[in-house]
Amino acid sequence: MHFVSPRLSALALMIAASSAFAATPITKTIAVSEGTDMAVTVSPNHKTILMDVQGLLFTMPFAGGASKQITTPEQEASHPDWSPNGNFVAIQSYAGGTFHIWTMHPDGTDLKQITNGHGDDREPRISPDSKTIAFASDRSFKGSYDIWTVDVASGVLKQITSSEADEFEPAWSPDGSSLAFVSGSSITGKSIEAINLASGHQHTVASIDSTIGRLEAPSFSPDGAQIAYVRFSGVGLFMNTASLIVANASGDSAPTYIGKATDAFPFPATWLSKTELIYTGNGHILHTNLSAKTESSIPFTAVIESTRPQYAHKVYDFDSTAAHPVKGIYAPALSPDGKQAAFVALNQLYLMTIGSAPVALTHDTFYKQGPAWSPDGKRLAYVSDRDGIENIYLHDLAALDDSADRRVSPSQSAQIMPAWSPDGRLIAFQDQTGATLLTDVTTGAVKSLAPLTFFPGRPSFSTNGKTVAIATIKPYTKRFREGTSSILTVDVATGKTEFFSPAKFESITTRTEDGPIYAPNGKEIAFVMDDLLYTMPVDADGHPSGPASKLNDETTDAPTWSGDSRKILYLNNGTLKLLDVSSKVITLVPVELTFTRSKPEQKLLIHAARFWKGSGPGEQMDVDILITDNRVTSVTPHSATPPPGITRTIEAGDSTVMPGMWENHAHTDSDNSIYYGSRMGRLWLSYGVTEIRAIADNAYRALEHRESYDSGTAIGPRLFTTGEAVDGERVYYPMMIPTTSEAQLHREFDRLKALDFDFIKLYVRLPYSWAEQGIQYAHTRMGVETASHYLLPAVSLGEDGMSHVSATARTGWAYSRSLTGSSYSDVSKLLSQSGMWTISTTFSQSLYAEDPGMATDPRQAIAPPWENARLKVSVSGATKTDQTSALQHLKEEESVVSGVIRDGGLLLAGTDSPLDLPATSLHLNLRAQVKYGLAPWQALETVTVLPAKAYGLTKDLGTLDPGHLADLIIVSGDPLKNIDDAARVQCVMKNGQLQSVGVIMAPFAKSNIGNNICP
């Protein structure tokens, strides 16, 4: 990936082509005077400060005041260091999709890229003679970060360190003879080392016990006698404190000075003299006099442009019962004779003779997944939770129905993604830990094949049965989690594993159904890379033995082979295609399957003691709510005489009726969700969630679920979903698309549009210039929202929102929340004044201590046993360990939430479940908002009217005004007085269909919750 210009030509063309469909955005400026995780450097003459505020570089006079912006968002400049000769500034830039070292004039002009390649080059520091830049890099590709130098004039590189430790954040000694750097494992800096550049001799300058903290950001005093660094105290998601430390540079010694800021930011201090320095912390630029032991804040103002897009939102027809073509064709599998295909759609397992209509093999509301043909073509292995847990079942194709389908190896652990051995004796699969196992088809005996990996893809046997291949993550280093989705081969006899790349620096597109999958002829292996179909030659044992060859030029998912290896069946933007491998001829395979939205015909009356419409502090008492079909007709004072034509009356005499809740950040079809089966939708409903904003998921699994929920063939909330997140070259999660070219970028956007998704997620490693194209495409071509982990694109590039207050960032720090969990007024101003929305995902388990009964709630019987065990562990930790620090971090996040809401901003509640626990964590989120300052009605708005406002759905959802969709819950008690009552759900109505919680739970647990109200 190479940076061309801040505004790529493709973006300009897209905007021009679609300008008729989008109104002129609203722009404004927002002035900030504090900075979260900001860095500074100072000119050698001490007249000018150059600072990084929210990913933009600004300059201002040393005394402070108004600043001038000198870089653009797309340049992604950070970590600035001013050269000692004053002529240039070194930065790290992500402009081309990989971190590299750049230089520029101090006014931001004459940007020059100094390093290149696929390695990440970070944290530049300029030598005292201004000729060399030291930096940290993983460019050796040996699994760790090392210290390198580059000659500014020639670009010649030199590797300085090469240990197995992660070595980063270099700092020059004043005479240029040595470099100090941080050494550690992953992000934990255990020590600061110094290396003599001539002799290679290395010694420890400072160290810390990694169980109590970590070190970062060294810098030498001008005389070389002292060294400053940042010491973090604490472990876990957020540190407790971060302090500037000044100590003797000769070795481990007691600090001579400890900074007054308790939240020092992770950047090197700039020394002005041996007794003065500048550092950043607590939101300020701090001028420190070491002799006097004083610190003063240098005031500043930085003005950031805000752009709020104006576009027509996607139009939903929630009332139509017209037939829609099925696009959610999940995991299609071609029969060995190449004449039939099996797949999952509308929550059923289908068999289709090519050229004929598909026929359902199952007819129940349980989950289905992953059909796989036996080598002889007589049986299908597939996954279902009809007996409680996702297990592998066998279906005999000679049978008239599925009544005789049996589990291969009954288990209380999940079994997913089955794959047959060539002799039909074994099936490989994965469990909920990510381990790959083998089961004997005859005996049901199970044995381990490969240790757990992070969300691996479906396994595949080599033709001789000696090797199994899976797609799994191969991280570049421990410091940052991303890597490539590579091919891992496992020797069936010995368990020996070996990684192979589909191509250098490339990935299998997704670690789900995109291969690798062996050809039955034993000569090649197929997979999807760059969204296209490839094959790669393999040796007799199935190990890749040559470069990959491209077979098509269209977006591809889920390839499977015919038994003679002559044809490959695959998905292309919601359609099935059949490719002749030798001729490359592609044939459309029609799927004659439609669905209609499930919608009741009724006139239902609910008599409720209390009614809250979903906004504001007021509630109505003793009311009648009239539901006609799937919409609210009226809300009136209770009358003893019901309206004519009532078909059903519900007496909720001691309950509250309120809108069903939004879960604003979930992954319904990826991560741990793939092991829940049909339990997941029921679990969310039973806790009052009737709407879900799914953020990033396996595309066809998500689409299949949405169509199943809409048609009533599966039980779950109203699902607003999307496919995989669009990511950069390096990836981590299985549902992130590694994007390596603009052509692929647009294939991904076109795929999301073709599948009619509701959202585009732009992920951690996608550069802003490409994200900007995604924003424009989503708005002008799809009418849907976009979001990422980053604040600046949401403020300045027109992105709709941010999916967390803070989360994983490619920089290693976040501009929205410091490493100690604090956000400053720059964040709250940008969130509240820009018009963007933000989702608070607290990831805090502390409040389980206030309601440990959550772990034994009868509804938890819906969750798989391992997930219920996870909840019990969380409750135990909250009740038995000191939660002081965790509660403080929670309070800090909630201060942002409450402040933004009070200032008129859009803050929404979400969980990122199932990374956090589904359902219960949403209620903890609401309780935390109330605990730390909001009224219950304000907290509840973050799951009712505010999401509808954020997503342009206020005409149909968010409140129970007449004419709105009848998505509501009946809860015991009064949530506007006690927020805990929001979890006491008795009955749930989605699209007018009312069920008690007991009925929702019924397939997995016996309960009478709500049965007396909604029989």
Residue 937 lies in a domain: yes
Angstrom distances, CA of residue 285 to CA of 246, 339, 512, 526, 1006 = 17, 70, 47, 55, 60
Say what the pLDDT of residue 237 is: 79
Using 50, 70 and 90 to split pLDDT, how confident is the model at 367? very high
* pLDDT tens string 906-923: 999 999 999 999 999 999
Residue 615 lies in a domain: yes
Say what the pLDDT of residue 16 is: 42
Question: Do both 571 and 611 map to the same domain?
Answer: no
> Per-residue pLDDT for 832 more than 90?
yes
CB-based burial label for 963 (10 Å; 0-12, 13-18, 19+): exposed
* pLDDT tens string 444-464: 999 999 989 999 999 999 999
Q: Read off the CATH number of the domain in which 384 is found.
A: 2.120.10.30
* pLDDT tens string 332-351: 999 999 999 999 999 999 99
Say what the pLDDT of residue 758 is: 98
What value does the mean pLDDT take over residues 837-851? Answer: 97
Taken as a whole, the chain contains a residue count of 1015
* pLDDT tens string 861-881: 999 999 999 999 999 999 999
Using 50, 70 and 90 to split pLDDT, how confident is the model at 77? very high
* pLDDT tens string 710-733: 999 999 999 999 999 999 999 999
Domain finish residue from 562, 594, 626: 594
- Residue spans of alpha helices (H) in 732-862: 742-754, 768-777, 791-796, 825-833
Lowest mean pLDDT among 174-183, 542-551, 667-676: 667-676
Tell me which residue range forms the domain holding 609: 603-800+836-1001
CA atoms lying within 13 Å on the CB side of residue 868: 17
Say what the pLDDT of residue 317 is: 95
- Comparing CA positions, the residue from 731, 772, 892, 757 lying closest to residue 824 is 892
* Nearby residues of 813 by Cβ (< 8 Å), 6 or more positions away: 37, 265, 266, 819
Angstrom distances, CA of residue 566 to CA of 23, 352, 524, 737 = 51, 19, 12, 28
Buried b (16+ CB within 10 A) or exposed e, 683-716: bbbbbbbbbbbbbbbbbbbbbbbbbbbbbbbbbb
DSSP string spanning 292-325? Answer: TTEEEEE-EEEEEEEEEEEEPPPP--SS----EE
Residue 618 lies in a domain: yes
What value does the mean pLDDT take over residues 409-414? Answer: 97
> Per-residue pLDDT for 833 more than 80?
yes
Domain finish residue from 263, 289, 304: 304
For residue 6, how many other CB atoms are within 10 A of its CB? 16
Name the packing angle between helices 920-931 and 884-902 (round to 10°). Answer: 70
Say what the pLDDT of residue 14 is: 45
Question: Do both 674 and 583 map to the same domain?
Answer: no
- Residue spans of alpha helices (H) in 958-1003: 997-1001
Q: What is the pTM of this model?
A: 0.96
Say what the pLDDT of residue 17 is: 43
Question: Do both 356 and 300 map to the same domain?
Answer: no
Residue 314 lies in a domain: no
Contacts within 8 Å (CB) and 24+ apart, 868-873: 870/917, 871/917, 871/920
Using 50, 70 and 90 to split pLDDT, how confident is the model at 779? very high
Say what the pLDDT of residue 253 is: 78
- Comparing CA positions, the residue from 987, 1015, 957, 1014 lying closest to residue 718 is 957
What value does the mean pLDDT take over residues 483-508? Answer: 97
- Comparing CA positions, the residue from 509, 497, 393, 512 lying closest to residue 452 is 497
What value does the mean pLDDT take over residues 99-124? Answer: 98
> Per-residue pLDDT for 509 more than 50?
yes
Question: Do both 127 and 179 map to the same domain?
Answer: yes
Q: Read off the CATH number of the domain in which 861 is found.
A: 3.20.20.140
Averaged confidence pLDDT in the chain? 96
Amino acid at 931: K
Say what the pLDDT of residue 934 is: 97
Domain finish residue from 537, 560, 594: 594
Question: Do both 791 and 679 map to the same domain?
Answer: yes
**Total tally of structural domains belonging to the chain:** 3
Residue 189 and residue 166: Cα distance in Å, rounded? 8
What value does the mean pLDDT take over residues 399-415? Answer: 95
> Per-residue pLDDT for 251 more than 90?
no
Residue 792 lies in a domain: yes
Question: Do both 585 and 607 map to the same domain?
Answer: no
**Cα angle value 221/225/229 (rounded, 5°):** 50
Residue 649 and residue 299: Cα distance in Å, rounded? 65
> Per-residue pLDDT for 674 more than 60?
yes
Question: Do both 543 and 649 map to the same domain?
Answer: no
- Residue spans of alpha helices (H) in 607-737: 679-686, 699-711
Radius of gyration (Cα) for the chain, nearest Å? 29
Which region, left, alpha or beta, applies to residue 186 given φ > 0 means left and ψ of -120 to 50 means alpha?
left
CB-based burial label for 445 (10 Å; 0-12, 13-18, 19+): exposed
Using 50, 70 and 90 to split pLDDT, how confident is the model at 435? very high
> Per-residue pLDDT for 213 more than 50?
yes
| Three-state DSSP class for residue 476 | coil
Question: Which is more confidently placed, 50 or 238?
Answer: 50
**Cα angle value 73/75/77 (rounded, 5°):** 95
Strand 146-151 to strand 157-159: parallel, antiparallel, or no bridges (unpaired)? antiparallel
> Per-residue pLDDT for 12 more than 50?
no
Residue keyed to tokens 């129940």 = 364
How far is Cα of residue 304 from the mean position of the Cα atoms in its chain?
Answer: 27
| Three-state DSSP class for residue 115 | coil
Given a contact cutoff of 8 angstroms between Cβ atoms, the answer to whether 515 and 527 are in contact is yes
> Per-residue pLDDT for 522 more than 70?
yes
CB-based burial label for 376 (10 Å; 0-12, 13-18, 19+): exposed
Question: Do both 539 and 652 map to the same domain?
Answer: no
Say what the pLDDT of residue 685 is: 98
Using 50, 70 and 90 to split pLDDT, how confident is the model at 616? very high
Given a contact cutoff of 8 angstroms between Cβ atoms, the answer to whether 771 and 788 are in contact is yes
Residue 322 lies in a domain: no
What percentage of the chain reaches a pLDDT higher than 90?
Answer: 96
What percentage of the chain reaches a pLDDT higher than 70?
Answer: 98
Say what the pLDDT of residue 9 is: 42
* Nearby residues of 795 by Cβ (< 8 Å), 6 or more positions away: 30, 54, 304, 306, 307, 830, 834, 836
* pLDDT tens string 265-299: 999 999 999 999 999 999 999 999 999 999 999 99
| Three-state DSSP class for residue 594 | strand
Question: Do both 467 and 503 map to the same domain?
Answer: yes
Say what the pLDDT of residue 10 is: 45
Residue 696 and residue 74: Cα distance in Å, rounded? 24
**Assigned token pair, 432:** 């909920």
Residue 813 lies in a domain: no
Question: Do both 590 and 610 map to the same domain?
Answer: no
- Comparing CA positions, the residue from 568, 650, 550, 736 lying closest to residue 1015 is 650
Question: Do both 248 and 285 map to the same domain?
Answer: yes
Amino acid at 800: D
Say what the pLDDT of residue 21 is: 52
What value does the mean pLDDT take over residues 356-378? Answer: 97
Question: Do both 348 and 392 map to the same domain?
Answer: yes
User: What is the enclosing helix (H) or strand (E) of 892?
Assistant: helix 884-902
Lowest mean pLDDT among 174-178, 281-285, 332-336, 667-671: 667-671
Residue 212 lies in a domain: yes
Using 50, 70 and 90 to split pLDDT, how confident is the model at 22? low
